[in-house]
């Protein structure tokens, strides 16, 4: 079987892979929900969902650094990477070891396409269809919930020192749009560094979102920014629900409802 991954690289899959190494936390969770837990032989230290999986599998490093010798020793049939999560060097090293599939996710539609493709690769088409249908139904329900809510101007912070925010061409920005949140930095690309003075120029900024990941923002950071942005509500948000694609979306839409109800 010939399949093109989301970087349009053609892969030849001769047999259903039964030894999977996954270097993407949100995809690890997806694989388990597709019934593939027993086929997973290696994961990253950030693969924290589902709870307890990390104790059962071999940890092969992080998302930005891997233990090549450990990966080789596990003799994977396939390695799953992501363009944003993993570096180009990691992908190239993995390709020297085994067939390497790279995902590239910007939208919910990209996620559903990936789940469909995994169904083909891992011979779990029925499970894939079930998960796709669940996500689609959750999305439809949420869009009905959100349709009459007015747009809100937001800035979504992911890092401090330097301050970094979410711009366009990101999955997070897509989910902000789904929520009727107008990202004031969507004119900037990817994850730009900013000065807080840049944010002062924005009129009627409704919310500043401080993500729980990758930077561990906390209450002290709310207090720090409240002194500067007295008219803007500053909220800690769960970064997993804004940045994890795959089956984490099944929980994300309920989280988004709760977030809106709390405003």
Per-residue pLDDT tens digits for 1-20:
999 999 999 999 999 999 99
Torsions phi, psi for 205 (to 5 deg)? -70, 120
Q: What's the structural domain count of the chain? A: 2
- Tell me, yes or no, whether 144 lies in a domain: no
Residue count of the chain: 263
Same structural domain, 128 and 174: no
Same structural domain, 49 and 153: no
Average pLDDT of the chain to the nearest whole number: 95
- What is the reported pLDDT for 4? 96
Instruction: Give the integer Cα–Cα distance in Å for 186 and 183.
Output: 5
- What is the reported pLDDT for 227? 83
- What is the reported pLDDT for 154? 96
- What is the reported pLDDT for 199? 85
Asked, as a colleague might, if the bond just before 214 is cis with ω within 30 of 0, I would say yes
Instruction: Give the integer Cα–Cα distance in Å for 42 and 53.
Output: 10
Of 81, 116, 139, which marks where a domain is finished?
139
Q: Where are the alpha helices (DSSP H) in 102-248?
A: 108-121, 125-146, 171-178, 196-200, 219-226, 239-243
Positions in the chain whose pLDDT score sits under 50:
none
Q: For the chain, how are helix, strand and coil distributed in percent, rounded to 5?
A: 40, 20, 40
- What is the reported pLDDT for 171? 97
- What is the reported pLDDT for 198? 77
Query: 103 is in which domain, residue-wise?
Result: 2-139
- What is the reported pLDDT for 183? 96
Of 112, 139, 166, which marks where a domain is finished?
139
CATH of the domain at 37: 3.40.50.1980
Instruction: Give the integer Cα–Cα distance in Å for 243 and 220.
Output: 23
Read off the pTM. 0.93
């Amino acid at each position: 079987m010939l399949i093109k991954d989301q970087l349009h690289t053609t892969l030849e899959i001769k047999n259903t892979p039964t030894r999977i190494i996954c270097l993407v936390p949100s995809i690890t969770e997806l694989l388990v929900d597709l019934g593939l837990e027993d086929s997973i032989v290696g994961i990253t230290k950030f693969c924290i969902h589902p709870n307890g999986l990390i104790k059962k599998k071999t940890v092969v490093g992080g998302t930005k650094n891997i233990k090549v010798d450990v990966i080789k020793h596990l003799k994977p049939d396939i390695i799953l990477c992501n363009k944003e999560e993993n570096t180009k060097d990691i992908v190239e090293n993995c390709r020297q070891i085994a067939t390497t599939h790279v995902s590239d996710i910007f939208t919910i539609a990209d996620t559903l396409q990936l789940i469909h493709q995994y169904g083909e690769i891992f011979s779990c088409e029925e499970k894939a269809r079930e998960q796709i249908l669940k996500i689609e139904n959750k999305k439809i329900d949420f869009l009905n919930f959100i349709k009459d809510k007015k747009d809100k101007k937001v800035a979504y912070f992911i890092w401090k020192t330097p301050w970094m925010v979410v711009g366009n061409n990101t999955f997070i920005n897509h989910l902000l749009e789904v929520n009727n949140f107008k990202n004031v930095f969507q004119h900037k690309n990817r994850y730009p560094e900013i000065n807080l003075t840049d944010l002062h120029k924005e009129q009627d900024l409704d919310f500043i979102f401080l993500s729980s990941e990758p930077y561990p923002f906390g209450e002290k950071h709310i207090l720090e920014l409240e002194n500067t942005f007295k008219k803007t509500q500053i909220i800690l948000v769960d970064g997993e629900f804004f940045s994890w694609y795959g089956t984490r979306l099944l929980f994300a839409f309920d989280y988004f409802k709760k977030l809106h109800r709390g405003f």
